Amino acid sequence: MSMFVDTATILVKAGDGGRGAVSFRREKYVASGGPDGGDGGKGGDVVLIADDNLSTLADFRYKRKYEAQNGAPGAGARKYGKSAPDLTIRVPRGTVVREAASGRLIADVSDDAPVVIAKGGKGGWGNVHFATPTRQTPRFAKNGAPGESLEVRLELKLLADVGLIGFPNVGKSTLLSVVSMARPKIANYPFTTLTPVLGVVRLQEGTSFVMADIPGLIEGAGEGVGLGHEFLRHVDRCRMLVHVIDASGSEGRDPLEDFAAINRELAVFDPALAERPQIVAANKCDLTDEETLARLRAHFEGQGIPFFPIMAAIAEGTDDLIRAVAAKLSTLEPIRRYEPEPAPVEDFSAGKRDFTLTVEDGVYIIEAPWLLKIMETIDPDAYDSLQYFQRVLRQSGIIDALEDAGIEKGDTVSIYDVEFDYVP
């Protein structure tokens, strides 16, 4: 049986932007051509895409680092460097992506839209950008911006409308195999289903839904005992639950105790899960007596829970059960999708940050990857925004470094693709 893996942690690194070029036109009869160094190309993004042929995250146990290519450097004759291709990573549909350090939810890869989780850096400017009336032969260009790098945790949360829950060996796999085209491996011992199996259940009226047979649950799962959390992670999205019980008690257990135990586990893991609509399928009813069935029916229907006696092995009673499930689904909200959580607003104005300062032909060039995030949020037309940017530059030590380097009023400061005149 293939190993089922439903969480993995990987490191992704988008490509850096290519360096701009330093170049001058060389033409016959022209004593000194102007600058014509082109910009570097953009680095590749890291993109996730849903792939229905994948059912586990096992591949990510063996390869943990994913790096997109860097952009190509610029060249003379104003030739731009080629942008790097995006790095596409295929994941099972239903994969949720979290920032490993904080747990912040970045993306839910549940539809066909590609999801960018790390952006490539912009290309650096070539020397053609730095020509001015007083600086006609700029002999410098800029590095490209670094691509984003982060560690992410992948979690597979199945996209099933209906989750089959119940103790091991009550007949969930058998039920799924007779109502859908799914073919789970079935054997007569606990924990047979180690991998969730999805099956599409089709009704004659042309409607269909996805049902998942989920790994067997044992008491203590809510606290992570046994297969607990792996099982519960997949029930998370199900719109309703079919709770399969062994009406015959053939494993020496009481079906009512089983039912209560599993619902306790659901409530411990996520109280909202315990509130999902449930239908009880009382399997192996051929091995019990009418009196026991009547007692079970009275118990569940007394709580408002629909009750269906079935014999999964011979598909007895399963049609009625499936029709009831379809009818209930038609009244419920669609499968839950997770909304990305916004990144926390970091106060970059507090304390020093690393940066490099180089001076080329009177231009003061600052490089500091952490500044890129801030510069995306700065509005050059808003006074408050510019004041904040100035405070960041002051408190991070950049202004002091510029003054130590001898900057004077009116000199040019260049930070990635932003330039401004220094005003003390």
Beta sheet of 149-156, edge-to-edge order: 65-67, 7-13, 149-156, 95-99, 105-109
Q: Which residues contact 165 (CB under 8 A, 6 or more apart)?
A: 172, 214, 217, 235, 241, 242, 243, 244, 262, 266
pLDDT at 1: 30
The C-alpha angle with vertex 30 and arms to 27 and 31, in degrees rounded to 5, equals 120
Alpha-carbon gap, residue 340 to 247, rounded angstroms = 43
Q: What letter represents residue 406's amino acid?
A: G
pTM: 0.71
Classified as helix, coil or strand, 127 is helix
Is 14:68 a contact under the CB 8 Å cutoff?
A: yes
DSSP 361: T
Distance, CA of 16 to CA of 210 (rounded, Å): 42
Longest Cα pair distance anywhere in the chain, in angstroms? 108
pLDDT of residue 237: 80
Residue whose token pair is 């009116």? 410
Phi/psi of residue 221, nearest 5 degrees: -60, -35
Q: At what angle do helices 255-269 and 228-235 cross, to 10 degrees?
A: 80
- pLDDT at position 191 is 42
Token output for 77: 């004759």
Angle between helix axes 172-179 and 318-329 (nearest 10 degrees) is 80
How much is the pLDDT for 12?
95
Burial class (CB in 10 A: 0-12, 13-18, 19+), 299: middle
Residues of the chain short of pLDDT 50, as ranges, are 1-3, 186-193, 219-227
Q: Which residue is associated with the tokens 């293939």?
A: 2
In angstroms, the Cα distances linking 123 to 1, 21, 148, 205, 253 are 48, 11, 14, 56, 67
Which one-letter amino acid corresponds to residue 115? V
pLDDT at 161: 87
Tokens coding 301: 């229907």
Strand partners, 155: 7, 96
For residue 189, the model assigns a pLDDT of 40
Q: Specify whether the CB–CB gap between 11 and 149 falls below 8 A.
A: yes
Identify the burial level of 28 via C-beta atoms within 10 angstroms of its C-beta, where 0-12 means exposed, 13-18 middle and 19 or more buried: exposed
Tokens 């037309």 — which residue?
Answer: 381
- The order of strands in the sheet holding 87-92 is 87-92, 46-51, 115-118
Domains in the chain, start-ordered, CATH in brackets? 1-157 (2.70.210.12), 162-329 (3.40.50.300), 346-424 (3.30.300.350)
SS3 label, residue 198: strand
What pLDDT does residue 220 have?
Answer: 44
> Read out DSSP for 200-260?
EEE-TTS-EEEEEE-----TTGGGT-TTHHHHHHHHTT-SEEEEEEETT-TTS--HHHHHH
